[in-house]
Structure 1
Amino acid sequence: MGQPDPWHGLRRYTDARVGQGRAGVSQTTREWLAFQLDHARARDAIWQAVDFAPLQQRIEALVDGPGCCQLSSACADRASYLQRPDLGRQLSSASGQQLEQLAKQHKDATESPFDLAIVVADGLSAKAIECNAWPMLQHLLSQLQADAQSWHLAPISLVQQGRVAVGDEIGQRLQADAVLLLVGERPGLSSPDSLGLYLTWHPRVGCTDERRNCISNVRPQGLDYRQAALRALYLLSEARRRRLSGVELKEQAEQAAPQALGSNFLLAGKTKS
């Protein structure tokens, strides 16, 4: 029989594996089985394919919504996606041509460029997209519409087998000022459904990570959708005002005065020494 562990009470405050108790010198059977279950869920999240059809239907049902288009990366299947990260950062030739045609039609119809291209990519967690992409988009689009500044949105791109950098090519082909990518993050044993948001100003193929701003762990047990949307809007507004993103935006944002949204979210919880 397992021995009680005085650290067990800490588990009320974290999903981390603390206070698990022991049976002799080993883990208890209960904790070992729980570990196996969480490991299986993480593996399933990586290998499972996303069905984008329900998300597309919801987006297209929005009144005055931006619409959407389904795309794919250069990866032929999930195995190649996991083995060839470089291919997940590129669009397939068919998807590239699809976006070029869309951009041409837009240019013929209006001279106004896209301010923002929103991209949803499956990434490394199908569960993150299926559980969190739609509620996150609802809050995000609501905040963008309520913002005093107008945002001319490109059709939302839904990308199969996509990694973060695929958003740069999409933004470039659509000639958008900025790209905001929602992607399934690498699953952990306690978080197989974590959604990440990546913002890049003036996206171009070849952008490196210091050009991006990241908002991570968006899910009911992490950062809630409303706060994530407010942070994204703050960063987008600052990126457009300063015409930059990434490390420089973070450094300058820490010196910025509180904004109309209430406060500088990047400084939440910090105190002066």
Structure 2
Amino acid sequence: MSEDDLWKRLSRLTPARIGLGRAGAGLPTREVLSFGLAHAQARDAVHAPLDADAIVSAIERLGFASLTVASHAVDRATYLRRPDHGRRLSEESEAALRQSVSEPVDLAVVVADGLSARAVHEGAAPMLAALKPLVEKSGWSLAPIVVALQARVALGDAVGALLKARAVVVLIGERPGLSSPDSLGLYLTFGPRPGRSDAERNCISNVRPAGLSHELAANKLHWLIAQALTRGLTGVNLKDESDALLAAPETHAELDGPR
């Protein structure tokens, strides 16, 4: 097998840019154009606004109640320049959440635009649809789904604390790569409160049609939530062992219980 044939075979196994070939001292024209398209798609994903009304409608069609909030970032430009503003609720949103609180709940879910509204438009509703029967089967109490605008991951800490949730899950558009402008990230934090660090969260990333499926991501997230609520922790102290369910299905009952 020639070296060119080997690179062609390898390139079919990954979206990574390998074995691109040469045109003199540069890249072939098709690869230059492909790179330019990917870069434009990533930029569009970062700057595109979230259609909150469409997201709310999709959430409510699934049978969930919902609330809409905004971060302290007043516009997209501020959000991109000042990440700290995206981690804080606006005063109006904080007041609205305080008024909505009734009883403590097991779980709060935040759907946030993050750095890719496209990922949320395409992936949030399918992700919630896959997660819903697992939450219902477990009997966990759930706060209204919160749709957050101009939001960073840490905004979920404030939302979860205000909703008196034992744990919070943030579904957020991830920073686009040059082959993944539609990637959704899932961040789970036990005991949410402002000031939590990234080391205290579990993350499931690359949830998209060309990556981790919604069904598999939902099963992983369900396992992590169950363990978080049982053990009272998330982050570096909670390792994702959900793949053991796929390798040994007869152990489902054992892994679903307290550990």
TM-score, scaled relative to structure 2: 0.91
Q: Please name the residue that 1:271 is paired with.
A: none
Question: Which residue does 2:202 correspond to in 1?
Answer: 213
Tell me the amino acid that sits aligned with residue 223 of structure 2: Y
Q: Which residue does 2:72 correspond to in 1?
A: 74
- The one of 151, 162, 166 aligned to 1:173: 162
What's the CA shift for 1:174?
0.7
Partner of 1:39: 39
Distance 1:178 1:21 in 2: 49
Mapped contact 1:5–1:20 kept (Cα < 8 A): no
Q: Structure 1 residues 187 and 261, CA, compared in 2 at 3 Å: closer, same or farther?
A: farther
Does residue 133 of structure 2 align to residue 142 of structure 1?
yes
Using the TM superposition, give the Cα deviation of residue 8 of structure 1 relative to its aligned residue in structure 2, in angstroms. Answer: 2.2
Could you tell me how far 1:58 is from its partner in structure 2? 2.1
Distance 2:253 2:224 in 1: 12
Aligned identity (percent) is 50
Partner of 1:260: 252
What is the number of residues matched between the two proteins? 248
Q: Could you tell me how far apart the structure 1 residues matched to 2:19 and 2:9 are? A: 7
Per the alignment, residue 141 of structure 2 pairs with 152
Q: Match of 1:57?
A: 57
Cα RMSD between the aligned structures?
2.0
Which residue number corresponds to residue 88 of structure 1? Answer: 86
Q: Which amino acid aligns with 2:173?
A: G
Give the alignment partner of residue 111 of structure 2, picking from 120, 131, 154: 120
1:182-217 Cα distance to aligned partner (Å, 9 max, x none): 000010000011000000000010000111000000
3-state SS in 2 of match to 1:216? strand
Q: Where do 1:95-134 residues align within 5 Å? A: 95-103=93-101, 106-107=102-103, 113-134=104-125
Q: Which runs of 5+ in 1 are unaligned?
A: 108-112, 265-273
Cα distance in 2, alignment partners of residues 164 and 238 from structure 1: 21
1:261 Cα deviation after fit:
7.0
Query: Which structure has greater helix proportion?
Result: 2
Tell me how far 1:60 sits from its aligned partner: 1.7
Question: CA offsets per residue over residues 55-91 of structure 1, 9 Å max, x none?
Answer: 21122233xx330011100001100000000000001
AA aligned to 1:53 is: D
Opposite residue 80 of structure 2, the aligned amino acid is L
Paired amino acid for 2:78: S
CA distance in 2, matches of 1:195, 1:143: 19
Residues 26 and 45 of structure 1, relative CA distance in 2, 3 Å threshold: same
Superposition deviation, residue 9 in structure 1: 2.3
Q: Describe the superposition over 1:40-67 as per-residue Cα deviations: whole angstroms up to 9, x where unpaired.
A: 00000000001021221122233xx330
Equivalence map 1:176-195=2 (5 Å): 176-195=165-184
Shift of 1:263: 7.1
**1:215-251 CA distance string (max 9 Å, x none):** 0000010000000000000000000110111111128
Find the aligned partners of 2:53 and 2:74 in 1 and give their Cα distance.
Answer: 19
Distance 1:161 1:26, change over 3 A: same
Q: Which residue number in structure 1 is paired with residue 226 of structure 2?
A: 237
Counterparts of 2:46 and 2:80 in 1: how far apart (Å)?
9
**Which position in structure 2 is the counterpart of 1:270?**
none
- TM-superposed deviation, 1:20: 1.0
**Structure 2 spans left out of the alignment, 5+ residues:** none
**Rounded Cα–Cα distance in structure 2 between residues aligned with 1:260 and 1:87:** 42
Inter-partner Cα distance in structure 2 for 1:33 and 1:59: 37
**SS of 1:260's equivalent?**
helix
SS in structure 2 of the partner of residue 250 of structure 1: coil
TM-score after normalising by structure 1: 0.86
| Distance in 1 (alpha carbons) for counterparts of 2:87 and 2:170 | 12
The one-letter code of the counterpart of 1:168 is: D
Q: Distance in 2 between matches of 1:129 and 1:260?
A: 31
